[in-house]
Structure formats: C-alpha cells, structure tokens
Amino acid sequence: MKTIKVKDASSKPNPHGVDARSLSDTESAQVVHITLQPGESLKKHVTPVDVIFYVLEGEGVVEIGEEKEVAGADTLIESPAKIPHRWINESNAVTRILVIKTPGQKEATRLL
C-alpha cells in the first residue's frame, strides 16, 4: 500500500503559478491537488485527456468551453478532453480541488 498526504507532496512550478501537487501519476490516471487562494485562477488551457474535478473545500468558478458555473465543496465536475477549461477563485476563502486525469498523460505534455 502506498499513502500520500497532500502536505507531504511538494508543489511544482506550473504555468498557472498556483499550488499544484501531484499525488499520483500512472499510465491509467494522474491525480493532482490544487489550492487556489482568493483571487487566484488557472489559465484557460486544454488537456488531451478527460478530466474530473472534485471540489474538496471552498467554492470556485469553473469554465469548460462556453459554460461557466459556481461549484462548491463536495461537487464533481466532468471536463471532456480537448475542451478549454479553467478554475477561478472569486471568493474570500481557500478553494481546494482534486483533479483526476484519465487515462494518465505519461507521454503527453503536462499543463499542471
């Protein structure tokens, strides 16, 4: 068994300039924990694989293609491959999001 605590995973530099920590990276899936401070956002980007977002804490605005919605804790959002998407924290509190990419992107260019 392998266990990983978010606080023990190091945040890696990324094009978005946010706290993004890789928790698992296999050929079948990639799991990333993102923390958005108030006012922070991801740049709109495209991933070559399907993405599932699960909001762990707080609230954020998720944009997928032309759709835009506020999503709070305990909400799951599906984002299809090759559709521009991003998250924005317009609140006054921290927003934490679990990102699951399937299949993994071992050979693809990573954006996070």
**Residue 84 forms part of a structural domain:** yes
**Residue 9 forms part of a structural domain:** no
86: domain CATH number is 2.60.120.10
Stated pTM of the model: 0.89
Q: How far apart are CA 101 and CA 42, in angstroms?
A: 16
**What phi and psi values does residue 7 have, to the nearest 5 degrees?**
-65, -20
**Residue 107 forms part of a structural domain:** no
pLDDT (0 to 100) of residue 109 = 46
**Consecutive sets of 10 residues in the chain, 112 residues long: mean pLDDT of each?**
95 94 92 98 95 98 98 98 97 98 63 48
**Residue 61 forms part of a structural domain:** yes
pLDDT (0 to 100) of residue 107 = 46
pLDDT (0 to 100) of residue 104 = 64
- Short-list 43, 26, 52, CA closest to 87: 43
Number of Cβ within 10 Å of residue 41's Cβ equals 17
**Residue 112 forms part of a structural domain:** no
Domain with 25 in it: 14-102
pLDDT (0 to 100) of residue 27 = 86
Cβ atoms of 87 and 77 closer than 8 Å: no
Indicate the number of domains in the chain: 1
